[in-house]
């Protein structure tokens, strides 16, 4: 959860290009609201409580959470127009996350005011 | 009975040295326990989060102190406290490197187009991926959630 705080700058960089960060977890909106407000994230956390969307992405870790709860497998996906995937990365370990500076550099590589898709 | 130099030292300077060994072993244990705590506190930094460096540095120092105390004083209590540090360090390293591994996903690996979705945000407002990417690039961040 602390990992989201590091994505503020990435979100600002995306906003300059008309886009944004969308975090997704199985938490209910009420839980995520606390995180968004308390941590002043500046971007949304979406709630996939049933895990249906996570399953579509191949990212539902069944019984992987505390108390054998189904949770998301941590992953990052950069999506352009027409839902084209420009870049993606799945975490190999629970504590493994991409460096926010690297993500920022990745987004800066996209053209301003365009999502760089053909 | 032969007396080794070490026994001689232990007999002659007994008490202060034993007290010292107890102190060293407890200090070692505190450092060892402090390692993961410091790690948790600094976890926002992704390098620290992934490497576990502060935990391992403190736990290594703690283990060294524990082993040193055991080498100095063979009493059971000292052995118990002194050896607890390296044991906890090994346990932490095991969980850190092997216990927290996540299964790789074939489905995710083969995705080239992100599946469409509409999900509620933290205020309950529906957000559609198609609408977001129509105006600019989106970074989807799937995370394990609040715990």
- Specify if A91 maps to a domain: yes
Domains: count for chain A: 1
Read off the pLDDT of residues B75-84 as tens digits, 9 standing for 90 and up. 999 999 999 9
Record: contact A29-B123, CB cut-off 8 A:
yes
Instruction: Say what angle helices A8-15 and A100-108 make with each other, to 10 degrees.
Output: 10
Contact present, A83 and B116 (Cβ < 8 Å):
yes
Q: Which residue segment(s) compose the domain that A13 sits in?
A: 2-108
Return the closest-CA partner of residue A76 out of A51, A52, A57: A57
Establish if A97 belongs to a structural domain: yes
CA of residue A10 relative to chain centroid, distance: 11
Q: Does A41 touch chain B (CB under 8 A)?
A: no
| pLDDT tens across the length of chain A (118 residues) | 567 888 999 999 999 999 999 999 999 999 999 999 998 999 999 999 999 999 999 999 998 888 889 999 999 999 999 999 999 999 998 888 898 889 999 999 987 654 444 4
Interchain pair B122, A48: CB under 8 A: no
In this structure, what CATH number is given to the domain that contains residue A40?
3.40.30.10
- For A2-52, the DSSP string reads HHHHTTHHHHHHHHTTT-EEEEEESS-HHHHHHHHHHTT-SSEEEE-TT-H
**Closest alpha carbon within chain B to A99:** B46
The answer to whether B112 contacts A85, with C-beta atoms less than 8 Å apart, is yes
How do the domains of chain B map onto residue ranges? Answer: 5-99
Residue B32 banded pLDDT, cuts 50, 70, 90? very high
Residue A116 forms part of a structural domain: no
Length of chain A equals: 118
The reply to whether A118 falls in a domain is no
| pLDDT given for residue A68 in this prediction | 87
Candidates B115, B142, B147: best to mutate against A (most CBs of A within 10 A) is B142
Backbone angles phi, psi at A81, to 5 degrees: -55, 150
Query: Of B49, B55, B109, B141, which to mutate for an interface test with A (greatest number of A Cβ within 10 Å)?
Result: B141
Partners of residue A24 in chain B, C-beta under 8 Å: 119, 140-143
Place B5 in a pLDDT band, splitting at 50, 70 and 90.
Answer: low
Residue A113: inside a domain, yes or no? no
Residue B72 has pLDDT above 80, yes or no: yes
Query: Is A72 a domain residue?
Result: yes
pLDDT beyond 80 at B44 = no
Q: Any chain B CB within 8 A of the CB of A65?
A: yes
In a domain, residue A115? The reply is no
Matching residue, tokens 């993961």: B36
What does the pLDDT average to over B51-74? 94
């Amino acid at each position: 959860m602390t990992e989201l705080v590091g994505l503020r700058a990435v979100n600002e960089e995306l906003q300059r290009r008309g886009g944004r960060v969308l975090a997704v977890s199985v938490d209910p909106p009420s839980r995520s609201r606390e995180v968004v407000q308390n941590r002043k994230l500046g971007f949304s956390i979406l709630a996939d409580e049933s895990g249906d969307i996570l399953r579509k992405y191949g990212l539902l870790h069944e019984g992987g959470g505390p108390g054998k709860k189904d949770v998301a497998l941590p992953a990052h996906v950069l999506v352009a127009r027409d839902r084209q995937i420009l870049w993606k990365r799945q975490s190999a370990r629970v504590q493994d996350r991409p460096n926010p500076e690297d993500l920022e550099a990745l987004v800066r590589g996209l053209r301003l005011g365009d999502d760089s898709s053909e | 009975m032969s007396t080794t130099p070490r026994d001689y030292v232990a007999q002659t300077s007994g008490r202060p040295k034993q007290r010292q060994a107890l102190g060293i072993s407890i200090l070692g244990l505190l450092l060892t326990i402090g390692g993961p705590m410091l790690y948790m506190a600094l976890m926002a930094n992704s390098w620290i989060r992934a490497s576990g460096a502060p935990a391992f540095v403190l736990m290594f120092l703690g283990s060294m102190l524990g082993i040193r105390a055991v080498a100095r004083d063979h009493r059971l209590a000292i052995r118990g406290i002194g050896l607890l540090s390296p044991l906890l360090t090994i346990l932490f390293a095991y969980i850190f490197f092997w216990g927290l591994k996540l299964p790789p996903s074939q489905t995710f690996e083969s995705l080239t187009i992100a599946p469409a979705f509409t999900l509620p945000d933290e205020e309950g407002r529906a957000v559609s991926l198609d609408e977001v990417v129509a105006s600019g690039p989106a970074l989807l961040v799937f995370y394990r959630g609040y715990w």
